[in-house]
Amino acid sequence: MRIGVASPKQNYPHPIIAREGWPFLAIAVAVALLATYFVGSAWAFPLWVIALFVLQFFRDPARNVPRGENLVIAPADGRIVAVEKTRDNYRQQDALKVSVFMNVFNVHSNRSPVDGEVTGVQYFPGKFVNADLDKASLENERNAVLMTTPTGKEITAVQVAGLIARRILCYVKAGDKLVKGQRYGFIRFGSRVDVYLPLDARVKVSIGDKTRAGETVLAEL
């Protein structure tokens, strides 16, 4: 199968900084500027460091989305922490799970792993244990987006809050149509995304691999 690359600006509705970060960045820069004016640059230095951290956390660069109708791409930047056969509790069926852990230095925009229609969105309140742990998939606050591809394959992408994360943002609902790489959500300050695939999917990543949302191929259906 030939894999092409879509335009870098495909499905990219906003500038380099995620819209979720604009209020945080504005506040951080304003506080740093006021501190610099009233107490001097030396005392304000830590505040500028915080502003730079906010800037890097909410960065959201455009990505080159691979073409190929059978491809499943990474929904998040981060590191692969699980590749296993397990139970997709959102569909009540067995599945292959591929999990991506995002630390506070990763881009935190979430992108659709496949072309398809959203058939359901399920939100579950929960704990905020370290998202690097397997139990986070079942115990933490999470939001599952159920998708069906044009060929009938069922994919579940689950945003999972982490130890520091306290806000899962999801912008889609049942009936929405998504394309690979399309931005559909955001998680603030460290988390993970679990992707449940059909059992016959051919996984292309291993534990420890680094991923880039919208670019890294997780599997072929």
Q: Which residues are catalytic?
A: 191
For 130, the 3-state DSSP assignment is: coil
Backbone angles phi, psi at 213, to 5 degrees: -60, 135
On the CB side of 149, how many CA atoms lie within 13 Å of its CA? 21
Q: Report the candidate in 69, 75, 82, 59 with the shortest Cα–Cα distance to residue 111.
A: 75
Tokens of 203: 């996984």
Cα distance between the two ends of the chain: 12
